[in-house]
A and B are shown apart, each in its own frame.
Chain A
Amino acid sequence: MSPRRTETGGRIDRLRTIRFTFDGASYTGHAGDTLASALLASGVTLFGRSFKYHRPRGLLTAGVEEPNALVTVLRGEVREPNIPATMVEIYDGLTAVSQNRFPSLAWDVSAVNQLGGKLLSAGFYYKTFMGPAIGPLKGTRFWMFCEHFIRRAAGLGRAGLAPDTARYGRMNAFCDVLVVGSGPAGLMAAKAAADQGARVILAELEPHFGGSANWSGETIDGMPAADWAARTAGQFEGHDNVRLLPRTTVWGYYDGNTLAALERVTDHKEIPGRGEPRHRYWAIRAKSVVLATGSFERPLVFPGNDRPGVMLAHAAERYANEYGVLPGERIALFTNNDSAYRSAVALKKAGAAIVAIIDVRPELSSEMRKLATKAEAEIFSGHAVVATEGGKALSGIKLQRFDMTSGALSGEARSVHADCLLMSGGWSPTIHLASQAGARAVWDAARQAFLPPKPTQRWIGAGAFTGSFSTTEAIAEGRAAGLSAAGGTNTQSTVPVVEAAPGDPDPAPVFEIKASGKSFVDFQHDVTAEDVRLAHREGFVSVEHLKRYTTLGMATDQGKSSNIPGLAIMAEALGKPIPEVGTTRFRPPFTAVSIGSLAAERFGDLKPERLTPMHDWHVANGATMYSAGLWYRPMIYGLAGETIEQAYVREAKATRESAGIVDVSTLGKIAVQGPDAAEFLDRVYTNMFSTLPVGKARYGLMLREDGIAFDDGTTWRLGEQDFLMTTTTANAGKVMQHLEYFLDVIWPELKVHVTSVTDQWAGAAIGGPKARAILATCVTGTAVDNAALPFMGIVHGKVAGVPVMICRLSFSGEMAFEVYCGAGYGTHVWEALIDAGKPFGLVTYGLEALGTLRIEKGHVTGAEIDGRTTARDLHLDWMLSKKKPFIGSAMMDREGLIAPDRLQLVGLISLDNRPPSGGAHVVEQLDEANPHDSIGHITACCYSPALGKYIALALVKGGKQRHGTRAYVSDPLRNRFGPIEIVSNHFFDPDGSRMHG
């Protein structure tokens, strides 16, 4: 029997034992336990070290707001840090480790930070590290030096380096009523709405529906509240208008009543089900939302309130009633309100001794006195806890007489021996989603809490969320909210009857006990009451500034427990009432959201992919595939033992010597058709297309409206009113939208239709000295000689019985042809071309060789048309027609765009026979240690088999004027520095004799 597990009770399955490890030690727990409850049951008190001072910390809460007990969960090599132990359901084989300790949780070297506490007070980082570098130990440079060490010592959990192999899903859902939270209010709301026939989604962040009913110990309709909750939730099963989402946190409330939720589908499973995503991101559009998100209990601020063994009162009640675990044997309670008395009774009933109830209020109701008697607890009214004792666990507390109105302490301090201190500082409605939805929260003096604002979107609140803390109110409000959200009318019917302990939910307005010692406000970021006052003394008066300066509420728990106490202390320092200091607006997400769930199907095996018609052929014939956007393209067709460089050099060389063929199906293809098609092309291209004869193609360049180069490609005139435009692979979608925009918005009078036909055509480019001879052996129905098919000519014929369209154009600089056929025949035609080429030594080549051939020719692609370069920068000014206006023509000659010192396209030759790499800078000075004054950068590079050298394209200041001069390539990240010569970008066959034949 575990030392702290109760004999009976709790909603765990005591017949099922589960084994797991924490910090390498083996533990057991039961099905239904969280990591927190199972470790607590095993006698563990120390769960983590605090962020700044490395103070020992235990469990503060039992739920999602836990600031202290953050753990890292390991699954194989994948680590997920900063998960509250209270939210980890145990499973066989669970491996969790504590965080922020070195070398171990029990012995932590950084705990000496506590002694030097002043060093790390509010604004420490700003004061020490911001500003100019004066002397060696100050300023931003010093920060850069220290950052590495500080981050290691002060960080929370460490993220892993192993790629996340889990799968993530996304769902779009629609409903009439979304109910957030499944306590009594949420359950009643869901039931009332479902009974009206509404489509309901009920989201609960815990594994079980019921919320507080699972541990309140109350009776509803004559049965234990937890049984009532289970029965009510069970009634929804099988109703197809209700979708139940357990383990689902609604974390964002956006405009248009769109809410975002995270469902943790498999985190609690040893082995995920087949095909199950780990997390599922839900985008929920709800006609109405019922917010039944309950409330958070607040800590009290007093010296030593962070010692392991000091816990929120309701959390202890929950551990006892829901998990059958006692957080201590001798328990004291410290409160400013009535709710702690019920907790005392519950813990007494579970088997603990209640040694004292310390209440800041001088007067107590007879009902509370009765509850204290029932708990056999001594009452200290008008007292406060001023210190706690113990190390890694609590051993005792000290109390003193306390005057609530003045805050003064008096009399002798008195010691009480206790191994657990429960605190209750009142309750704060969980208004986060309402705050996200817009409008400011309203301060309620009686409740000493911010209540939700008036709805600015279609939501209705119910239960503790609205400040109605009793279960009877929650049930009534939940039912009314569900009916109203579903558009129903309230009818007289019986509502469940609740038996609950009495108590007034309004706390005394006491947040802090001022005595000597560190009193924590924000447990997770180690912000003390003194830090808040220091910030005020230093002139921070706005709550937003205070938050940033002290980092209060900025940790992963986002101040769920610290927000109100921090605000109250700030208000006191300012001498203003709390509502005048104001609260910060809550932003999404409510709790941490996995990045994987946001990426969902855009990543991993659910990502869509685009494959060319010849894809399977490439893979079967040894291609190494390369992902380019959504496309997959052959990078090289490597032979056994070849490096990538050896493969592409062989492919490029063979192409120039005999012939090569490459799959160009990914090029964007747009049919531009209609009576005004030629006129339209004249407007969107910088050069003239209306003069292009039918059966010919032309290379075209497009600019953006601001005169910067946008995209290039060839456009083929297939008929008087029928053009086939090609675009770069990467810009296909953008060019399509660009054309559509101008036709729809700017020139609706033009009679032109544009249709994306990228996927309708398969394309192969075949080039090299033998290319024409190869085509001559396999193309029927047309001649392919110079007369029938001149440069930029188009013919129609057949290959292996399939109609093809052939255009003679060249990207490689060789005599080359693009052969297009219907996509369904792509492989058929491709194989026929390969067969025809065999006797001629035809090779297949991939993207690397394609790049090499184009670099040798100095052709530009997306690396040079990078959204900053002009046509002139790329030496394409010969394409700028002076006879007509076109998109970008008015703006392209602006002063800055024609300046002589702009980056211009040049070629580079490596003089040390080593490869330069893309992104490296070009510098003039031979100063490897401190490279400076970049004059440009490299956009593409390769080994050129034609030149027998490493060459590159680059954008360099002044460009042409530097031809024939020397400079250096500088790439400090890759430790590369070496001499280069700047030359023309036309490395190979500059007059084009090879392609013209």
Chain B
Amino acid sequence: MLITCPYCGPRDVIEFTYQGDGNRQRPQPASQDLDAWNAYVYERLNPAGDHNEIWQHSGGCRAHLKVVRNTLTHEISSAAFARGDHKSGARHKAEGKS
């Protein structure tokens, strides 16, 4: 399996650490809504097909990536910085070079 890190380029899965389901929504830190916390900590979709996942490039730039992976074929249709916007991508780049 190859994941194309937006900063480092295509790299073997061995360089990455799976950091969980990318669909999870963390409640506000002070939230007392136990159902929401339960959903966040335990409830998973487990689709046969495209799945949103978080992978950390732990053996590379250490950025977290939002990855869409097909659970049947391991095909990866997208990989983007989990921080989102282009600015943060640029920030990673700048830091990597310094």
Chain A residues with CB under 8 Å of B31's CB are 890
Q: Check if A890 sits within 8 Å of B32, measured CB to CB.
A: yes
Q: Check if B41 sits within 8 Å of A740, measured CB to CB.
A: no
Q: Which of B43-76 contact A (CB under 8 A)?
A: 54, 56, 58, 62-64, 73-75
Q: Check if A737 sits within 8 Å of B58, measured CB to CB.
A: yes
Q: Tell me the minimal C-beta distance from B7 to chain A in angstroms.
A: 12
B34 close to chain A: CB less than 8 A: yes
A256 close to chain B: CB less than 8 A: yes
Chain A residues with CB under 8 Å of B41's CB are 705-706, 891
Q: Check if B30 sits within 8 Å of A885, measured CB to CB.
A: yes
B19 close to chain A: CB less than 8 A: yes
Q: Check if A748 sits within 8 Å of B56, measured CB to CB.
A: no
If the complex has contacts A705-B41, A740-B56, A741-B19, are A748 and B88 also in contact, measured as CB distance less than 8 A? yes
A744 close to chain B: CB less than 8 A: yes
If the complex has contacts A256-B74, A740-B62, are A705 and B40 also in contact, measured as CB distance less than 8 A? yes
Q: Tell me the minimal C-beta distance from A896 to chain B in angstroms.
A: 12
B84 close to chain A: CB less than 8 A: yes
A144 close to chain B: CB less than 8 A: no
Interface size class of B (residues with CB under 8 A): 20 to 34
- Which of B29, B54, B88 makes the CB contact (< 8 A) with A885? B29
Interface size class of A (residues with CB under 8 A): 20 to 34
Chain A residues with CB under 8 Å of B26's CB are 746
Q: Which of A387-443 contact B (CB under 8 A)?
A: 438
Chain B residues with CB under 8 Å of A744's CB are 56, 63-64, 82-83
B1 close to chain A: CB less than 8 A: yes
Chain A residues with CB under 8 Å of B63's CB are 744
B2 close to chain A: CB less than 8 A: yes
Q: Check if B84 sits within 8 Å of A748, measured CB to CB.
A: yes
Chain B residues with CB under 8 Å of A737's CB are 17, 19, 56, 58
Q: Tell me the minimal C-beta distance from B73 to chain A in angstroms.
A: 7
- Which of A683, A745, A885 makes the CB contact (< 8 A) with B82? A745
A912 close to chain B: CB less than 8 A: no
Q: Tell me the minimal C-beta distance from A269 to chain B in angstroms.
A: 31
Give Cα A531–Cα B54 distance, bound, in whole angstroms.
50
Chain A residues with CB under 8 Å of B30's CB are 885
Chain B residues with CB under 8 Å of A255's CB are 1, 73-75
Chain B residues with CB under 8 Å of A256's CB are 1-2, 74
Chain B residues with CB under 8 Å of A283's CB are 12
Give Cα A168–Cα B30 distance, bound, in whole angstroms.
52
Chain A residues with CB under 8 Å of B37's CB are 890-891
Give Cα A885–Cα B28 distance, bound, in whole angstroms.
10
B27 close to chain A: CB less than 8 A: yes
In the complex formed, the residue of A with least CB distance to B26 is A746
Give Cα A706–Cα B37 distance, bound, in whole angstroms.
9
User: How does the 8 Å CB contact mask read for A869-896 relative to B, with 1 for contact and 0 for none?
Assistant: 0000000000000000110001100100
Give Cα A438–Cα B70 distance, bound, in whole angstroms.
14
18 contacts between A and B (CB under 8 A): A172-B12, A255-B1, A255-B75, A705-B40, A706-B41, A706-B42, A737-B19, A737-B56, A740-B64, A741-B54, A744-B56, A744-B63, A748-B84, A885-B29, A886-B29, A890-B27, A890-B31, A890-B37
4 smallest CB-CB distances across A and B, nearest first, come from A255-B74, A885-B29, A744-B64, A885-B30
Q: Interface residues, chain A, CB within 8 Å of chain B?
A: 172, 254-256, 258, 283, 285, 438, 683, 705-706, 737, 740-741, 744-746, 748, 885-886, 890-891, 894
Q: Interface residues, chain B, CB within 8 Å of chain A?
A: 1-2, 12, 17, 19, 26-27, 29-32, 34, 37-38, 40-42, 54, 56, 58, 62-64, 73-75, 82-84, 88
Other A-B contacts than A744-B63, A744-B83, A885-B30, 9 sampled, CB-CB below 8 A, are A256-B2, A283-B12, A285-B2, A706-B42, A737-B17, A740-B62, A744-B82, A745-B64, A891-B41
